[in-house]
Amino acid sequence: MAVKIRLARHGRKASPFYHIVAADSRRSRDGKFIEKIGTYNPTTNPATVELNFDRALYWLEVGAEATDTARSILKHEGVLYMKHLKGGVKKGAFDEKALEAKFQAYKDAQTKKAEAEAKKTKSNAEAVAKKKLEEELEINKQREAKIAEKNAALAAAEEAKKAEEAAAAAESAEEAPAAEATETPAE
């Protein structure tokens, strides 16, 4: 029986969630499996992986082959590196203490790398947000300038209209006494 470590899809449409399973390679993707060794949720940022490290290592040591995606997950979690180190212990290249030290150094490097990536992503997001804010402020300034121009034009038009009305009122006031003056001698 050929055993594969692979992903079994669960979740709803457009929202996948995977179980990492050890299964007979002849079974269907979501069918019967031998053992569930973890879960993988690609919809979170960063993707969430919960893995039973010891059982995954066991299945690799007894000859299970991982599919491409499962292999990348196992590599990211350090299972493949631990298998590699255990092979070195079996050959006598180093002892268990060296294995633990090397694996701990590997995990520390992975943690630093993940933190740097998260920091980079956060700074990029902040830069994009700052740029959008500056663009929005510029648009608001332009909009305010247009409104101020429009209000100034309306105020100038109203002033002109009031001046015309005042001139017309003054003109009619001048004409009214002249008309009264012409009417009074005619009596």
CA distance 118 to 72: 19
Output the pLDDT for position 182: 58
What's the pLDDT at 93? 87
pLDDT for res 168:
83
Is 116 within 8 Å of 122 (Cβ atoms)?
no
pLDDT digits (tens, 9 = 90+) for 70-82: 999 999 999 999 9
**Tens-digit pLDDT profile for residues 107-122:** 999 999 989 988 998 8
Determine the Cα–Cα distance for residues 171 and 184; give it in Å rounded to an integer. 20
Q: Which pLDDT score, from 0 to 100, does residue 38 have?
A: 96
Ranges of the chain with pLDDT below 50: none
Q: What is the pLDDT of residue 165?
A: 85
